[in-house]
A and B are shown apart, each in its own frame.
Chain A
């Protein structure tokens, strides 16, 4: 197979030897599982259980809310203890809503619904629904909901399916172990994904530093006599496993800036995602566990099959403990991962590696000796996206955010190659992350300002309208009054004094007169006393007499006055 060589990139020592040959182990069920509601790209999941509720393994505990979102399932059977904010694995070290489950150590599965038919007879949309319900997201690190990626949209065709087994970051071996231990599961998953997107070609790409994984997959393919899935052995060069870099290496196609692999007819999925798809479609098992590499300064570095939600601390403990009680624990690889603020954070769907760093993680440059940029241009030579890291650094530092966007800051994949080669140890990626955050913040502020302007303008126009309406009402009332004042004295009360010429006074008198007349009319002509029979008349007279009597007793002053009248 013809391979292409992407621009830039770096050769880094892999440090994978300590874990890549050891069989993975199942981590024990911990005493507490913490499941953040937001473990993926897209909107948070919505809780569907109550605290105190008993849940079974694989039972839905939070459902997807929008199109780009993912469901969440109980990783083991137990009781929901609480639903509250817990520290989550995030560079900020902040808290976010989580479901906390206390396992009952029975690990009882909820009924697994297997649809009982061959996936080849199923419609792609039905497969996508199964994958959506299983809560599968990209397990390579980004965590984008898989079923969204499997839906290219009308009129768009996937030509090539690339299964990413490159695993280019140092220290991480979880995909390597998965490929060695479960090659058949991966291949079954690949078949399902391929059927779902109707891809013509299918390539599994693996870096050439994983001969055992390559051999395992080749053997599995040979056993099943599969010839239409090929294996591409790509040269080991970081970041060969980056989506756009891998697509270029394998197909020679470049994904456009701001574009998706879909736009060049390619779909890229991680090997672990493929295996998860197989478990979901064939066994009805949602995504509740994953392979995680525990390495660095622990007694027995190895790969573990971990329930989602297990605390990092428990895993480090299981691997022999934090040897030198290091404060720095990295989640993800040394190039793109981040330091945890707390070891009591859970493994989430996208966590592939935990590195306990006792200051001897050789990949990372020391951060305490940052020197000024000497404009050597080494970063330009290694940037796999062909950006100008040095220019972006100066502009980001000077907070010239409009200009830095002209240098395509948002195409930066934050791979850390520039950091690695920088002779001045400048944390370039963090500078770019800072700039990206500031640009997003300004965008949000601008939206908020536009909203406020709109509301303010509306309020101003409303106030003006109300004022105008009030004024119009006042004017029309004044006009009516004026007309009345001129006509009223002449028409209704001819006896009114005209000699004084006091129109207002006359109007008041006329009004009083009218009111009096009206009152008299009402007083002497009750509507319900017409055409009465003699008995009714009699009853009325008697009632009147009784009323007068009572009045005389209770209110002597008034009644005496009345009697005098």
Chain B
């Protein structure tokens, strides 16, 4: 009886200590699920999902407060990837959040820019270069096409243009006619 109590309490102490150490040394920083979701998002930081950037949206999805179909820049592939990760059914993009469109890049009409710096403050990725009363310009390679610089511009001198695909990035289209399964639909009477 006494032996059993001693052995059990010794085991309890040992495992308790082990768990205690594990909790300290193998502590996971932050929520890994948020990280995983954030990795799948396109990082446009456009806020079309209704959150203040991709990470807050990822956080909301992890907490179950947001749907997976609120990201127009990510579109179909992102929804599919999120559905796979979170183990839920994929659903079509919510039209309230916007429509899927080709990748765009912002261009400042430098003749009309008055150097107000409002767009610089709006850009979520610091992709606009310029200073007060000096012409601004967009660093095209860093622009995510989020369109957040458009509303603050007092002179409407920013345009969104589709990104030109260089010849090295050209892709073979999916071949035509692959889904042409020749199904012959017979009239109902003929079957009988």
Which of B125, B167, B178 sits near A456, CB closer than 8 Å? B125
Among A425-462, those with CB < 8 Å from B are 426-427, 430-431, 433-434, 436-438, 440-442, 444-445, 448-453, 455-456, 458-459
**Which residue in chain B gives the minimum CB-CB distance to A437?**
B171
C-alpha gap A449/B38 in the complex (Å): 10
- Judge whether A449 and B177 touch: CB under 8 Å: no
C-alpha gap A191/B64 in the complex (Å): 70
For residue B42, which residues in chain A have a CB less than 8 angstroms away from its CB?
A: 445, 449, 452
- Judge whether A438 and B171 touch: CB under 8 Å: yes
For residue B77, which residues in chain A have a CB less than 8 angstroms away from its CB?
A: 442
**Which residue in chain B gives the minimum CB-CB distance to A368?**
B177
C-alpha gap A427/B177 in the complex (Å): 10
B175 on interface, CB distance cutoff 8 Å:
yes
Give the Cβ gap from B47 to chain A, nearest Cβ, in Å. Answer: 12
B34 on interface, CB distance cutoff 8 Å:
no
Give the Cβ gap from A183 to chain B, nearest Cβ, in Å. Answer: 38
- Judge whether B124 and A456 touch: CB under 8 Å: yes
B43 on interface, CB distance cutoff 8 Å:
yes
C-alpha gap A448/B174 in the complex (Å): 24
For residue B182, which residues in chain A have a CB less than 8 angstroms away from its CB?
A: 371-372
B69 on interface, CB distance cutoff 8 Å:
no
For residue B68, which residues in chain A have a CB less than 8 angstroms away from its CB?
A: none
For residue B177, which residues in chain A have a CB less than 8 angstroms away from its CB?
A: 367-368, 370
Give the Cβ gap from A328 to chain B, nearest Cβ, in Å. Answer: 16
- Given contacts A426-B178, A434-B172, A453-B54, whether A92 and B126 have CB atoms under 8 Å apart is no
C-alpha gap A124/B78 in the complex (Å): 51
B26 on interface, CB distance cutoff 8 Å:
no
Give the Cβ gap from B139 to chain A, nearest Cβ, in Å. Answer: 10
Among A196-213, those with CB < 8 Å from B are none
B44 on interface, CB distance cutoff 8 Å:
yes
- Given contacts A370-B178, A445-B42, A451-B142, whether A456 and B173 have CB atoms under 8 Å apart is no
C-alpha gap A450/B54 in the complex (Å): 12
B170 on interface, CB distance cutoff 8 Å:
yes
A13 on interface, CB distance cutoff 8 Å:
no
Among B81-108, those with CB < 8 Å from A are none
| Chain B positions 121 through 149: 1 when the CB is less than 8 Å from some CB of chain A, otherwise 0 | 00011110000000000000010100000
C-alpha gap A436/B42 in the complex (Å): 20
B115 on interface, CB distance cutoff 8 Å:
no
**Which residue in chain B gives the minimum CB-CB distance to A397?**
B178
C-alpha gap A409/B131 in the complex (Å): 49
B45 on interface, CB distance cutoff 8 Å:
yes
Interface size class of B (residues with CB under 8 A): 20 to 34
- Judge whether B167 and A441 touch: CB under 8 Å: no
Main secondary structure of the interface of B (DSSP, over half): loop
A392 on interface, CB distance cutoff 8 Å:
no
Among B145-179, those with CB < 8 Å from A are 167-178
A96 on interface, CB distance cutoff 8 Å:
yes
For residue B170, which residues in chain A have a CB less than 8 angstroms away from its CB?
A: 90-92, 94, 437
**Which residue in chain A gives the minimum CB-CB distance to B176?**
A370
A88 on interface, CB distance cutoff 8 Å:
yes
- Judge whether A434 and B174 touch: CB under 8 Å: yes
| Chain A positions 258 through 273: 1 when the CB is less than 8 Å from some CB of chain B, otherwise 0 | 0000000000000000
Give the Cβ gap from B127 to chain A, nearest Cβ, in Å. Answer: 7
Give the Cβ gap from A34 to chain B, nearest Cβ, in Å. Answer: 15
- Judge whether B175 and A434 touch: CB under 8 Å: yes
**Which residue in chain B gives the minimum CB-CB distance to A455?**
B125
- Given contacts A452-B142, A458-B126, whether A437 and B172 have CB atoms under 8 Å apart is yes
Pick the most buried of B144, B174, B177: most chain A CB atoms within 10 A of its CB.
B174
- Judge whether A452 and B171 touch: CB under 8 Å: no
Give the Cβ gap from B65 to chain A, nearest Cβ, in Å. Answer: 21
For residue A438, which residues in chain B have a CB less than 8 angstroms away from its CB?
A: 171
C-alpha gap A1/B175 in the complex (Å): 44
Which of A367, A371, A431 sits near B174, CB closer than 8 Å? A431
- Judge whether A455 and B167 touch: CB under 8 Å: no
C-alpha gap A95/B167 in the complex (Å): 8
Which of A431, A441, A448 sits near B178, CB closer than 8 Å? A431
- Judge whether B125 and A452 touch: CB under 8 Å: yes
For residue B169, which residues in chain A have a CB less than 8 angstroms away from its CB?
A: 440-441, 444
C-alpha gap A445/B42 in the complex (Å): 8
- Can you list 24 pairs linking A and B with CB atoms under 8 Å apart? A38-B167, A91-B170, A367-B177, A370-B178, A372-B182, A397-B174, A426-B178, A427-B175, A431-B174, A434-B171, A434-B172, A434-B174, A434-B175, A437-B170, A438-B171, A441-B169, A442-B77, A452-B43, A452-B44, A452-B144, A455-B126, A455-B127, A458-B126, A459-B125
Could you tell me which B residues sit within 8 Å of A by CB distance?
A: 38, 41-45, 53-54, 77, 124-127, 142, 144, 167-178, 180-182
Could you tell me which A residues sit within 8 Å of B by CB distance?
A: 38, 88, 90-92, 94-96, 367-368, 370-372, 397, 426-427, 430-431, 433-434, 436-438, 440-442, 444-445, 448-453, 455-456, 458-459
Query: What 16 additional pairs, Cβ within 8 angstroms, besides A88-B167, A370-B175, A442-B77?
Result: A38-B167, A96-B167, A368-B177, A372-B181, A426-B178, A427-B175, A430-B172, A431-B175, A434-B172, A438-B171, A440-B169, A448-B144, A453-B38, A456-B54, A456-B124, A459-B126
Ranked 9 nearest A-B pairs via Cβ: A437-B171, A433-B172, A452-B43, A449-B43, A92-B170, A455-B125, A370-B177, A453-B43, A427-B175
